Amino acid sequence: MAVQPWRKGVVLQILQEAPATHRYLIQVPELERFDFEPGQFVTLDLPIGEKNVDRWRSYSIASWPDGTNIFELVIVLAEGGKGTDYIFHEIREGSEFTFRGAQGKFTLPEIIDRDLFLICTGTGIAPFRSMAHHILNNKIAHQNIHVVFGCRTKTDLLYYDELISLSKSIDRFHYHPTLSREAWEGETGYVHQVYQKLLTDKPSAYFFLCGWKNMITDARHKLMELGYDKKDVHFELYG
């Protein structure tokens, strides 16, 4: 895959999605349309260090290809994180920054001929939101789609109403939010017990995992134990 050039992004709007999570709508002025595949990411070059490893932060695109030059990122303020600390406290509506992308191979299969399990925690919902809208907008044929989304409390459930709506708009789209630290009307506990229950009859499936390293490590291990092939398990790490 060719390396994308560095471009200028302009922040059009900042929305609070959760107590410590913001949505950033970003325009790319030099392009008439910003093309990408659902599941890809962009890399921001932030003025927070001298070396690339100190300056570069990558985030999955939370919006979907719509023919415009605007895309969305959803970012949580990480405790002790220099990158998100800069983004939350220095970037405002109208701010400019340098970014590269879109890049990455964490993308949908060309033909969705098996059930699709999209398993995530926190802002790991971003690429799956993009994929879901893309499937709806382009009327892409598919089997069952299960979005298993884990977080601590209901206020942390990003895009909650939107995902409920998608479950009504997309045929065979199932949304399974689960909370680890709050009792509510839905599932409680971690994502693993949710997808394990859905896999009781071991359907043929593709798996996409996005979120914190520990969740992904555990999920990959559990899916192998269930007999799934590691080539059918795709993942994107956060942190």
Structure-token pair, residue 121: 């925690």
- The pLDDT score that the predictor gives to residue 236 is 85
Q: How many domains does the chain have?
A: 2
Shared domain for 171 and 220, answered yes or no, is: yes
Name the pLDDT band for 185 (thresholds 50, 70, 90): very high
Task: State the Cα–Cα distance between residues 78 and 31, nearest whole angstrom.
Answer: 31
pLDDT of 239 > 60? The answer is no
The verdict on 64 and 179 lying in the same domain is: no
In a domain, 109, yes or no: no
CA 57/CA 9 separation, integer angstroms? 14
Beta bridge partners of 9: 97
pLDDT at 117 over 90: yes
- 127 and 55 housed in the same domain: no
Q: Are residues 139 and 194 in the same domain?
A: yes
Query: What is the C-alpha separation between 60 and 58, in angstroms, rounded?
Result: 7
CB 164 within 8 A of CB 172: no
Over the stretch 6-46, which tens digit does the pLDDT of each residue have?
A: 999 999 999 999 999 999 999 999 999 999 999 999 999 99
Residue 60 near residue 39 (C-beta atoms within 8 A): yes
Claim to verify: residue 147 and residue 213 sit in the same structural domain: yes
Domain boundary at 80, 103, 126, which? 103
In the block, residue with structure tokens 């009327």: 139
**Side chain identity, residue 14:** I
For residue 84, give the H/E element and its range: helix 82-90
Strand order in the sheet with 233-238: 187-188, 173-179, 145-151, 115-121, 205-212, 233-238
pTM of the full predicted structure? 0.95
My answer on whether 85 and 140 are in the same domain is: no
pLDDT reported for residue 1: 54
Ramachandran area for residue 54 (φ above 0: left; ψ -120 to 50: alpha; else beta): alpha
Comparing C-alpha atoms, which of 176, 160, 166 is closest to residue 117? 176
CB 28 within 8 A of CB 9: yes
H or E, element range at 198: helix 191-198
Cα 118 off chain centre by: 10
